Structure 1
């Protein structure tokens, strides 16, 4: 059984199409989505339509929560709060009430059993859509933040836009990275694959090229409120 985990699409339908095509080529049996579907990208409606057409399990990310109810003081630095809510308002203007209802109702955790291998997947941590757990965190932090909600063989999360795989005490910990807005300096969409076959477990991070300049033109053509900064992030694959 080969399973793809995708996340942090952020309204980038061009990157999502490239990733879904790569998943098809790799003949994955299932695809699961770990949140952050629409907000901060130029095509929120298109992404939501594509995700819903997968007919798969989808969980909520912090950006989905923001799309539903806005960004609150204390959740982001004060100097970007107004801008991020303008971006949120722009995103919601491209959606309808059915879309908002769909985002509102998304669950926050996914538990799977794949041929006897247990997988626990969530967006940021099992207890929060917003906590940030970085790749270089110590084993004690990773265990406390990511592995405390229940026993599993594999723990998968997203949120930080920086993919990695680590092994601790017989467990596997993976971050999917981001489909639409990678932050690790490699300007390619990122997603994770888990393959289980007769007791063997394979894990990988896949990096997929997409037409970055076309995505940037979408931001500009759609008059996205923060198009210049988003273009810089896409080209550099970094928020710095």
Structure 2
């Protein structure tokens, strides 16, 4: 049984098409999208239309919900707020687009895995509207705060995106109280894919990285993950895509020349 995961597309249709071609070659049994279809790049209408045509199980990301107007961003995230406002205006002209983003679930669960944008341990309680504070990054403090909950979590596999850095966090069972030293972190090298074998005694939190960027590890390649439950392996893929057309499309957008976070795309 092969299951494919990708997310954090952020309007990058060139990267998205490379991922679609990649999973069509692999022919997995199921495919999940980890959210953030839109936000950042000014082409959210393109990626949203393409993703809706694929009809894949998809969870909501923080950018999806900010673009749809569910909650505001952190005040210091000026570039991100401007990108969200741009995409919100863009998608307001597409019938049903914002309602679709608001309809996405925060998580999907199966018997073996939890699928969501960021963290099952930071989701809002039932009946509470999500906020940007529910979408922090997975640093040592966040890991420390959820170790006990992670060890007793019903599913041994957690698949998420959000951090834009591909990695597999392995919580090794020691029999005692878990701490940070019990976590092994597996990361792919720049430009290379990585496969690890699953230990039946460990728990895994898989961060799939970003399809469309911004790439927080500096590697301009689309990222995705494959779980092979028969072989008991995880593969983190680095998928190249044509950067020239993306650079040209972005350079033609005068508004985006002022967003420093996205300047690396123009310097490729």
Q: TM-score under structure 1 normalisation?
A: 0.83
- Are residues 1:173 and 2:176 paired? no
Counterparts of 1:201 and 1:236, CA distance in 2: 40
Question: Matches of residues 63-212 of structure 1 in structure 2 within 5 Å?
Answer: 63-69=63-69, 72=72, 75-77=74-76, 80-81=77-78, 83-95=79-91, 96-113=94-111, 118-126=112-120, 127-128=122-123, 129-134=134-139, 140-141=144-145, 143=147, 147=150, 150-168=153-171, 169=173, 170-181=202-213, 182-197=215-230, 200-212=231-243
The superposition leaves residues 188-222 of structure 1 with CA deviations (integer Å, 9 ceiling, x where unpaired) of: 1111111112xx42101000011122112112224
Question: Quick one: structure 1 residues 191 and 235, their matched pair in 2 at CA, closer, same or farther if it must change by over 3 Å?
Answer: farther
- Report deviation, 1:120: 0.8
| SS of equivalent residue, structure 1 residue 166 | strand
Counterparts of 2:152 and 2:57, CA distance in 1: 20
Question: Quick one: structure 1 residues 191 and 220, their matched pair in 2 at CA, closer, same or farther if it must change by over 3 Å?
Answer: same
Question: Quick one: structure 1 residues 41 and 229, their matched pair in 2 at CA, closer, same or farther if it must change by over 3 Å?
Answer: same
- Report deviation, 1:141: 4.2
| SS of equivalent residue, structure 1 residue 36 | coil
The superposition leaves residues 94-124 of structure 1 with CA deviations (integer Å, 9 ceiling, x where unpaired) of: 21240000001111011124xxxx0112111
Question: Quick one: structure 1 residues 76 and 201, their matched pair in 2 at CA, closer, same or farther if it must change by over 3 Å?
Answer: farther
| SS of equivalent residue, structure 1 residue 210 | coil
Question: Quick one: structure 1 residues 138 and 85, their matched pair in 2 at CA, closer, same or farther if it must change by over 3 Å?
Answer: closer
Question: Matches of residues 4-15 of structure 1 in structure 2 within 5 Å?
Answer: 4-15=4-15
- Report deviation, 1:90: 1.7
- Report deviation, 1:84: 3.5
Contact kept in structure 2, 1:5 and 1:176, CA below 8 Å:
yes
Counterparts of 1:225 and 1:45, CA distance in 2: 16
Structure with larger Rg? 2
Match of 2:130 in 1: none
Structure 1, 149-158 or 183-192: larger mean CA deviation: 149-158
Q: TM-score under structure 2 normalisation?
A: 0.75
The superposition leaves residues 131-170 of structure 1 with CA deviations (integer Å, 9 ceiling, x where unpaired) of: 1113x6686445257x378411211111110011132122
Counterparts of 1:70 and 1:110, CA distance in 2: 20
How many pairs does the alignment contain?
A: 225
